[in-house]
Structure 1
Amino acid sequence: MSANRRFLLARRPHGEPVPEDFSLVTEPVPQAPEGGFVVRNCYASLDPAQRGWMDDAPSYMPPIPLGDPVRATTVGIVSSSNTDEFQVGDWVMGLNGLEDYSVNQAGGFTMKVDPSLVDSPSKFLSAMGAVGLTAYFGLIDVAKPQPGETLLVSGAAGAVGSAVGQIGKILGARVIGIAGGAAKCRRLIDDYGFDVAIDYKGKSVDALAAEIRAAAPEGANVVFENVGGDVMDAELMNLAKHARIVLCGLISEYNSPEKVGVRNLWQVLAQQATLYGYLIMDYAPRFAEGGAAMAEWMAQGRLRIDEDVQEGLENAHAAFMRLFTGANTGKLVLKIADGL
């Protein structure tokens, strides 16, 4: 391409992001700086965390500056280079932006990947990327479910949740998933092998808590939390003694101008539970270990990772909003270009 399209953050969203919060501009293709290289982005990950990065609020990463491209993990090909560390034609994965071309410096977050290991480079954004590895390390290292224990997963039909449930089954846990709608609940059982699927839609906190209790009368030993709000309140009323809660996401809160929070946090005290704030970035040095395990389980047919691939930077806003309407049917990926 002779131009670089860039999907920029034009203003801070208030509540749900709208198209006017962004702008799609065209600029010249950047040149590799001294000691750096340029990546032609082919696929970009669309994740709930990006909504938080759009706000000017304290977080584990700085806010996206206004006028910059929306930050995203991408996989692509080095198109020009001024460093021996990366050669033209190398496939790489790194934290870049929703744009055709991204400038990188050697020594940053970008790492080489081998496309021969996967059926599509997009897998480095799902099974072999942050999504799959979030599930892997969140269970293997943080929650440590034991055979026979009960694992309760919210957002269970989402990219992370569906992987969490399947890994939980591999580890010998009994797995209960909470998802929105009958179709997603069927997928939990038929496609991902969950033991129980619970539909949260249209239910009060008390009604949802009662349904969880019926499925797990002795309480959940592990809760993998992706949703927050009313769903988490219902879960908190069903903790086993010394339960471990992995707080991975709070998607119900991300578009809410006034944060609701949870009201039943006292159950953490009552059940002597552990609440662990979990970020995958801490495990970057061990990504190869996790990726190898995920690849082996997929090769054995024990792990299924679905992708929802949307196409075109011009469709970035519509694609991103699929996360919040529940329209996505797997890990949400934006295809920007074909591999060269």
Structure 2
Amino acid sequence: MAKAWHLMQRPKGKPTHDDVALKEIELAPLEDGMVHVRNHWLSVDPYMRARMDDTDSYFDAFKLGQPMDGGAVGEIIASKADGFEVGDKVLSFAGWRDEAVIPAAGIHKLPDLGVDPYHFLANLGLTGGTAWFGLMDVAEAKAGDVVFVSAAAGAVGSAVVQIAKAKGMTVIGSAGGADKCAWVKSLGADACVDYKNGSLLKNLKAALGDVGAKGIDVYFDNVGREHLDAAFAIAEQEARFAECGMIDGYNHEAPYGFKYIAYIIGKRLQLKGFIYTDYQPRMGEFYAAMGPMIASGEVQSRETVMEGLDSTFDAFLGLFSGANTGKMLVKL
């Protein structure tokens, strides 16, 4: 029988296993226009934490006592929908479970780009699309810019590092620990700051000196709080901030006191929040740009993979403790 993770209560602070349950589910009957999908890969992502709260957000909150959902790549095992055949590999939003019967209108058949299907949950999916459009469209980054990327060893951050280098930019990343920083530099970053070792702002200023820059032109924000504050302090005039995520605050109830926020005014900083789904009509453009970069090895991916549906919630919790390098995935 199919199984799915359910949200049983709203977390207070960091989620725990008491907040969720893995339970059997009955699948909907397969009717016209629907497909039966067996998932092979599940994505867990930081934005899912906000969906556990009963607050307004860009995604609907998870409902108590009901299955959760998220990105998944799977295979059609039965179909009553035109254009979808048994054996087709598809991207859906029916994650946090092993099987689903869903309307075909809500899924995407994977294009044949010569890469493993899980890439469509990583650098050819939400991860890479967020990196590409956030950097190139939202931040309007260009060759010669100095780019600061927080959580640079994470899924989105590591993609931003590589895209920025491929486009002729100078890149400073931040990551937690010497090993992660070494990996970020192996991706091409000109410098990487270990935010767990000493003053973040002091170390960022030192990194700027190391790369021969006075300040940053672009900040790609995955973290918020102290990282965002430090970016205010080291920004050049009219620097552009792509506000992608603020994982450092998702489990904090107390507000953060910004010291350098007033620089937004004097430096004429441009901050813009964005969501991956804003750009779904432009995915063809993204595939055309990113597909060849992945196939050629110009943009590489690294995955932290946990095995089995039972491990999904632990994989999710690992996002908040830095357990992942690159994209966190669950293989079923």
Q: Same fold by TM-score, threshold 0.5 exceeded?
A: yes
Q: Which amino acid aligns with 2:90?
A: V
Query: Are 1:56 and 2:51 counterparts?
Result: no
1:255 aligns with 2:221: no
Runs in 1 of length 4+ with deviation above 4 angstroms?
none
Residue in 1 that maps onto 2:287 = 291
Q: Distance in 2 between matches of 1:259 and 1:44?
A: 32
Q: How does 1:226-237 map to 2 (within 5 A)?
A: 226-237=222-233
Aligned to 1:101: 99
Q: Which amino acid aligns with 2:274?
A: Y
SS at match of 1:34: coil
Does the 8 A contact of 2:6 with 2:66 survive in 1? yes
Instruction: Provide the C-alpha distance between the structure 1 equivalents of 2:243 and 2:318, rounded to a whole number of angstroms.
Output: 22
Note closer, same or farther for the CA distance 1:208–1:233 as it changes in structure 2 (3 Å cut): farther
Cα distance, 1:208 vs structure 2: 4.4
| Structure 1 residue 205: Cα displacement | 5.4
Structure 2 partner of 1:140 = 136
Matches within 5 A, 1:118-267: 118=115, 120-190=116-186, 192-204=187-199, 206-208=201-203, 210-215=205-210, 217-260=213-256, 262-267=258-263
1:39 maps to: 37
CA separation in 2, counterparts of 1:29 and 1:102? Answer: 6
Aligned length: 331
Could you tell me which residue of structure 2 aligns to residue 316 of structure 1?
A: 312
TM-score normalised by length of structure 1: 0.92
The whole-number CA distance in structure 2 between the counterparts of 1:282 and 1:197 is 30
Which runs of no fewer than 5 residues in structure 1 stay unpaired? Answer: none
Unaligned runs of 5+ in 2: none
The match for 2:298 is 302
The whole-number CA distance in structure 2 between the counterparts of 1:267 and 1:63 is 34
1:115 Cα deviation after fit: 5.8
Q: Does the CA contact (< 8 Å) of 2:27 and 2:100 recur in 1?
A: no
Q: Tell me the distance in 2 between the aligned counterparts of 1:24 and 1:261.
A: 38
For the 8 Å contact 1:75–1:91, the answer to whether it is kept is yes
State the Cα RMSD in Å. Answer: 1.8
AA of the residue aligned to 1:102: A
Query: Structure 1 pair 116/204, CA: closer, same or farther in 2 (3 Å)?
Result: closer
Aligned-pair identity in percent equals 38
Taking structure 2 as the reference length, the TM-score comes to 0.94
* 1:74 matched to 2:72: yes
Q: Quick one: structure 1 residues 180 and 295, their matched pair in 2 at CA, closer, same or farther if it must change by over 3 Å?
A: same
Q: For the structure 1 residues 261 and 168, does the alpha-carbon distance in structure 2 shift closer, same or farther, using more than 3 Å as the test?
A: farther
Q: Secondary structure at the match of 1:319?
A: helix
